[in-house]
Amino acid sequence: MNGTLTYKILEKHLADGKLIAGNSIGIRIDQTLTQDATGTTAFLLYESMGNGPVKTDISVSYIDHNMSQFGPENHNDHLYLQTVAAKSCAYHSRAGNGICHQVQLERFAKPGATLLGSDSHTPTAGGIGSIAIGAGGMDVAVAMGGGPFYLTCPKVIGVNLTGQLKDWVAAKDVILKLLSKLTTKGNVGWVVEYFGEALKYLSVPQRATITNMGAELGVTTSIFPPDEQTRKFLSAQKRSEDFEALAADPDAKYDKIIKIDLSSLEPLAACPSSPDNIKSISEIDGMPVGQVVIGSCTNSSYTDLMMVARALKGRQINNMVEFAIAPGSREVLNMLAENGALADMISAGARILESSCGPCIGQGFSPANDVVSLRTFNRNFAGRTGTNNDQAYLVSPETAIAAALTGKITDPRKLPELHSIEYPRIELPNEFLIDDNMIEKPLAREQASQVEVLRGPTIVVPESPKSLPDKLQGQVLIKVEDKITTDHIMPAGSFLKLRSNVPEYAKVVFNCFNEPEQATFAERGLELKKTGIGGIIVAGQSYGQGSSREHAALCPMYLGIRAVIAKTIERIHKANLINFCIVPIEFADPSDYNNIKQGDEIEIESLLEAVKDKDEVTVVNKGNGSEFAGKLNLSSRDREILLASGLLNYTKQVQRH
């Protein structure tokens, strides 16, 4: 034990393995969350495991992503999730109640608890002191059934926060600063744990902004120690009984320490098209802005939006700016409505969007061509706005309103001078307006067993993975570069409604790389699948960054993909590949990436044998007669899952014994 808070919580939940960094460990999960875009698959798989009532303390099924409801698909999903949650004795947060991470923080997350969510921003709850981890829906389904969650025992980065944020500099700038230091690459297997004298000035919503966007670092999770600030937040949520003070030991041993002096920070932006492309606002000051959107699970808390409302009160936004605000939850929206802040926003020219993910996941509000869009979100991957070649900048709400008022990128610290606005410092309210009417509570078992699960015709049970061949005969179906995100692999936006129909959704795998007049990736995959030859994806560093969407493994599996050969593969995506029986292979020598191209025929002689217990395979490239070594970086459980043809089968086998 190293005395970190992370290890203390992990130790309390340890179900399998030893707490030694790098080891595979299993932990008991107290709470789970699912959202509609990943939850349909998670619950379909949960049902096929025949698990009955959930075995966790709390499992919540949220509807927050797919709310556009063009065609029947979304509502079919909503009805399925509502009824399957009832049948499984889970909570259900209905459409309109808010974004899963915001609502979880407000109403459920607990200091010292473990939370597993089928969404990569689950670490938001680290702001309250949970060990909160994002995973694929299949892993969450196993946790709902009482199974442990397996992860690599992490190394811990201690981030020592000193000083105090200046006016107009925000929590968002803290995480953007950290992203500029650590980038989105190469942080797999780490947890970020915050400590230091500055913590006493950081409220839970501010902490949650930081832990939320910590997901972009690619770390396992981020955590703040629950303290007086946490007590205050929980008491205002009328959940004082959930509070527990926890901290690292004073002599805790971090594997690395980074110091950030909050007093020295300035407003920052993540420039197109990566959350780690950080510049200071002063470097890009003056750039014309055509759209500003405030919202998402990163920056849509009551305190954020009250700051926005106060700053805008009695003012008009620039007439060349399209301006929208999506409050993070119904609680936030209700409070803004009650105290008049909503009216101030509307009068200033804001378009109020419903409490959901909305534009963050390309559900409307796509910017015009060549228009700079400033967003308070956490991701600006190319095309995620729904517009090709988009220009999305990620900023704090403070920087967002400065642009909304001036029509150009503006350092918010100039607002007192430009618009006579004093910084509206917003305190946490003593009491939030609590109304859980849109959260359906778990039914008693008796009642739950009577529930009829509604499965509309657009909900299709996914195909099961095929077993691995002894020898892999394959063909490279695509070769991609570094930092390929799951948004590249499986676009969301207008395709999001296809999440519960794999054969349809699979048609757009790697859509952004399809060329007009040429066979799409999906068409090439299905053609190859007929011949019995396995499809191979070749990639650079950090393959599968970003979301937890397991469709980025499930749909390629449906198209016949059997292996991914990459320089490195990100944590959640790698687990998803294994869960759907796609073998993750890493180049032993990254320069071999240069000797392989799309269309090459590949052979891996004894793949099945190697998956059993070897750390390397020899990949023969019949295209150019060369061969190279590929690493199998797998835990013994990963191997068992692959040999069982995926996690669903593996779980069924374990249940039988």
Which residues are catalytically annotated? 64-65, 119, 379, 547, 549
Cβ contact 498:80 at 8 Å = no
CB of 360 to ligand SF4, least distance (A): 3
121 binding ligand SF4? (CB under 6 A): yes
Find tokens 């606005």 and name the residue. Answer: 421
CB of 42 to ligand MIC, least distance (A): 10
Nearer to ligand MIC, 38 or 541 (CB): 38
DSSP state, residue 288 = B
Q: Which of 239, 524, 549, 571 binds ligand MIC (CB under 6 A)?
A: 549
Restricted to residues 370-399, the positions that interact with ligand MIC (CB under 6 A) are 379
CB of 192 to ligand SF4, least distance (A): 18
- Per-residue contact flags (x/-) with ligand SF4 for residues 342 to 381, judged by CB under 6 A: ---------------x--xx---------------xx---
Pairing of strands 190-195, 322-325: unpaired
Q: Report how many residues bind ligand SF4 under the rule CB under 6 A.
A: 11
Q: Quick one: what does residue 38 bind among ligand MIC, ligand SF4, none, with the CB cut-off 5 to 8 Å set by partner type?
A: ligand MIC
Q: Quick one: what does residue 42 bind among ligand SF4, ligand MIC, none, with the CB cut-off 5 to 8 Å set by partner type?
A: none
Region of 392-400, 470-478, 544-552, 597-605 interacting with ligand MIC (CB under 6 A):
544-552
548 binding ligand MIC? (CB under 6 A): yes
- Alpha-carbon distance 342 to 528, whole Å? 55
DSSP state, residue 199 = G
Q: Which of 99, 223, 342, 421 binds ligand SF4 (CB under 6 A)?
A: 99
- For residue 449, what are the CA distances in angstroms to 60, 148, 504? 18, 25, 32
CB of 100 to ligand MIC, least distance (A): 8
- Alpha-carbon distance 353 to 355, whole Å? 7
- Alpha-carbon distance 555 to 510, whole Å? 10
Q: What is the Rg, in whole angstroms, of the alpha carbon atoms belonging to the chain?
A: 24
Residue 617 structure tokens: 């395979």
273 binding ligand MIC? (CB under 6 A): no
- Quickly list DSSP for 36-78: HHHHHHHHHHHHHTT--S--SSEEEEE--S-----SSHHHHHH
CB of 547 to ligand SF4, least distance (A): 7
Q: Report how many residues bind ligand MIC under the rule CB under 6 A.
A: 14
Nearer to ligand SF4, 99 or 170 (CB): 99
- Per-residue contact flags (x/-) with ligand MIC for residues 32 to 51, judged by CB under 6 A: -----xx-------------
CB of 380 to ligand MIC, least distance (A): 11
- Alpha-carbon distance 593 to 168, whole Å? 45
SS3 label, residue 88: coil
Q: How far is CA 176 from the centre of its chain?
A: 17
Region of 205-213, 413-421, 546-554, 575-583 interacting with ligand MIC (CB under 6 A):
546-554
Restricted to residues 113-132, the positions that interact with ligand MIC (CB under 6 A) are 119-121
Cβ contact 241:108 at 8 Å = no
Q: Tell me the helix, strand and coil percentages in the chain, rounded to 5.
A: 35, 20, 45
CB of 439 to ligand MIC, least distance (A): 20
Angle between helix 302-312 and helix 204-213 axes, rounded to 10 deg: 110
- Alpha-carbon distance 538 to 556, whole Å? 13
Give φ, ψ of 444 to 5 degrees: -65, 150
- Alpha-carbon distance 430 to 287, whole Å? 40
CB of 441 to ligand SF4, least distance (A): 23
SS3 label, residue 453: coil
- Alpha-carbon distance 137 to 388, whole Å? 29
Q: Quick one: what does residue 76 bind among ligand SF4, ligand MIC, none, with the CB cut-off 5 to 8 Å set by partner type?
A: none
Nearer to ligand SF4, 10 or 360 (CB): 360
Q: Which of 31, 93, 547, 621 binds ligand MIC (CB under 6 A)?
A: 547
- Alpha-carbon distance 149 to 131, whole Å? 12
Q: Quick one: what does residue 558 bind among ligand SF4, ligand MIC, none, with the CB cut-off 5 to 8 Å set by partner type?
A: none
SS3 label, residue 586: strand
- Alpha-carbon distance 385 to 30, whole Å? 34
Q: Interface residues with ligand MIC (CB under 6 A)?
A: 37-38, 65, 119-121, 134, 361, 379, 492, 546-549
Q: Interface residues with ligand SF4 (CB under 6 A)?
A: 65, 99, 119, 121, 296-297, 357, 360-361, 377-378
